[in-house]
Every structure is written in C-alpha cells, then in structure tokens.
Amino acid sequence: MKKALISPEEMKTLGVDTVTIDNSIVSGARVVQIEDVAFDVAEPLFWVDCPDHYIQQDCVYTNGEVVYSPRVVIDLKALNNLNS
C-alpha cells in the first residue's frame, strides 16, 4: 500500500475534460501526491492508504476512499493508420 496526500479544501473532477475507461465523472477532494511513506504535513492535509498502482492525476478522494479513474490514452497516429 502507498500513501495518498489529500487536500480536502480543493475539489477535482475526473472525466470531464478527459475520457475515462468507464466514461464516468467522479468528483472529490484532490489527491496532491502519492508516496511510499507518509511524512508530516500541515492541516488540513492528511494521508490515507491507496493501492500501489494508482496514479495521482487520475485520483480523487471521495466517500472515505481514494477513487482511481484512469484516463484512456488514444494513439491518434495508429487510429489514422487504421482508417487509411
């Protein structure tokens, strides 16, 4: 397990300007960073556990847990080659 640093006063929404795997829109507190080990932080920041494979920019903290909604990466060059 890794540690996710949460900023409860900053809200973030996933799935609005990016495409997520399940096309969901998820809102919650911003995950500032993910680290192997927690360190002292000033309030209101706090640490919670999160799985090792989570990527900070694809996470929010909502309903007491870190939610991971990975973005879909589309290779436009490969897509164009399919249409040629």
- pLDDT for 84 beyond 90: no
For 9-47, the pLDDT digits (tens) are 999 988 765 555 566 677 899 999 999 999 999 999 999
Is the Cβ–Cβ distance between 27 and 13 less than 8 Å? yes
Q: Is the pTM of this model over 0.85?
A: no
- pLDDT for 1 beyond 90: yes
Q: CB within 8 A of 9, min separation 6: which ones?
A: 29, 44
Residue 18 buriedness (CB in 10 A; 0-12 / 13-18 / 19+): middle
Considering only residues 24 and 2, tell me which one the structure prediction assigns the higher pLDDT: 2
Residue 71: helix, strand or coil by DSSP?
A: strand
